[in-house]
Chains A and B, each alone.
Chain A
Amino acid sequence: MGEALVATKARGPVTALSDLRSSGCLKVLFPRGNPERLTGIFINTAGGVTGGDHLRLRAEAGPDSHLTLSTQAAERAYRAQPKEVGRIATQLVLRGNAGLDWLPQETILFDHSALTRSLDVNMAGSARFLMVEPLVFGRAAMGERLAATALKDSVRIIRDGSLLFADCLQLAGDAQNLLERRAIAGGAGAMASVLLAAPAHEAESHLDAVRALMPDTGGVSLIRPGLLFARILAEDSFVLRQSLIPVLTRLNGALLPRTWMI
């Protein structure tokens, strides 16, 4: 069990913490860096999520403030007991002209893991939200296959009160068999979704550049004004990072948190 809350406010050009709470296995660190952006690093001291665990993360970037969030290590969805499900619920709020970068490291799905995860974002139209969610299918180094898993990974973004984007990745049962299929993952061992919700001219300005950075197994689209979305698949998490880092560096408009440096 764990809960964490981070809130920021702008103090002139500087972003400062306005609230911070954490309990259970979740902690938040704030490495020193660019004072205009506050970087918070979540640490799950339990090392992962197992069936029955429940993590709750909340963050709010106040008007004109800029908050970057990442995780200290890859999250692990451990093997779960039958009928038990690990839950991670994240709620992010972006006020007027705020910026929030949600840049967690990979989530590794172990064989027989059961994870239900939700990311709910509520943002002002003038705000800027960048997201990446990398997933790794099994512990490749151990040659692990996802013979059984139950993943439900949902993202919902509300902008100015109306639903802008929804996605829910679902894998059930013999995921490896499914992931081998050509319309699904073509045998990929890792995948990421990348999303930028930003004022229309800015989102559009990245389209060509991000397209040029896509591998054969990745695509990007300006789904509607102010909404850029990419899916990238790769044989493993290392290759995935090689594709992701230039994309995220471009969209982040600044150096990535140190947790993203290879």
Chain B
Amino acid sequence: MGKTITEKIFETHQRDVPSGNNVVLDIDVVMCHEITTPIAINDLQERGMDRVFDPAKIKVVIDHVTPSKDSKTATQAKILRDWARRQNIKDFFDVGANGVCHALFPEKGFIRPGYTVIMGDSHTCTHGAFGAFAAGIGTTDLEVGILKGVCSFRLPETMKINIVGELSPGVYAKDVILKIIKELTVNGATDKVMEFCGPVVEAMSMESRMTLCNMAIEAGATCGVCPPDRVTAEYLWPFIQDEYDSIEAAVEDFKKWHSDVDASYVGEITLDVSDLAPQVTYGFKPDEVKDIMELEGSSVDQIYMGSCTNGRIEDLRAGAEILKGRKIADNVRAILSPATPKIYNQALEEGLIKIYMDAGFCVTNPTCGACLGMSNGVLASGEVCASTTNRNFNGRMGKGGMVHLMSPYSAAAAAVKGCITDPRNV
């Protein structure tokens, strides 16, 4: 019988099979940020195990709260920084060069088809967009990953998500994934890999595929994955041109990371997106999703554009389409955090930053920022934010605050109207 992408990756990375249900994998990339890693570093030090398995396979960034906002976050940054230096980790991104991990690391070419990737961060599933197996893990897994370059997983089954039809104007990857989460519910894909395929995915940019895979965890999935193809090869070309004679050769080679036609899936859903309207969440769970028209006029206080879900250049472009020549409404404040310095620069060159600033946005440095309510952009109790992020949990952006998740296009429309609105009419 044929195999899925994930089964192929598991097979080629298998170090041990400690039980019929569990596999210990060799890990290609261990990624670290300053929130979950310092406590692992401290623990390893206390145990006399202050080592790393391979400094070249460890990628480090300070991104959640940066530049540091207080002594505690400064200490976290310092622990990470000192460790990266001590362990000779070259790929370390500090203030000035840093950005949101799941936007920055792909941009640097660190993720390739067929890779195994772990990070102490649940949205690590984003990197499955490259045809990798990428999973969020906790601190103990991170410690073992850092020390030994291995991680254990239960054998995940794969759910096939076939996306067909054609997206209409004003509807984006974010709307597609919100709709899928609504159908699957918040634990509909637990212990499963969500394999996104079909013509809509094939037509998507790497940025859009990352948006899809980013939110796989919100349906409980271990990872999202997209078959690597020409779009993947073109994105990675600057980093792989010494390895392949041509993009065609890379595309051919990437096919070894495609699921076989007779691979077995634990479930298959087909979503025709032709009539899909922009989507928005209304409650405190990411599966509480409605067509945006149903929330027309619902009030907001803050707009947030950014994060590992939607802080990339195409997201900034989508928002700017609406914001160009317009002002944000009097009753709202709006924040943009481009996800990486490269994106920030590109947005400057394309004149997007000016559009946002002229509209009345505050533009911050690249950081997770308001997404998790740990640094800037925190909501007061009772306040509501229209946000391009991925989590609307109670208190996520500040105690007592509420978040409506939506696409950058819809968030820009909310900024202009001062309330939730169908962006197609703005």
| B and A form one assembly | no
List B residues at the A interface (Cβ < 8 Å).
Answer: none
Residues on A lying within 8 angstroms of B by beta carbon are none
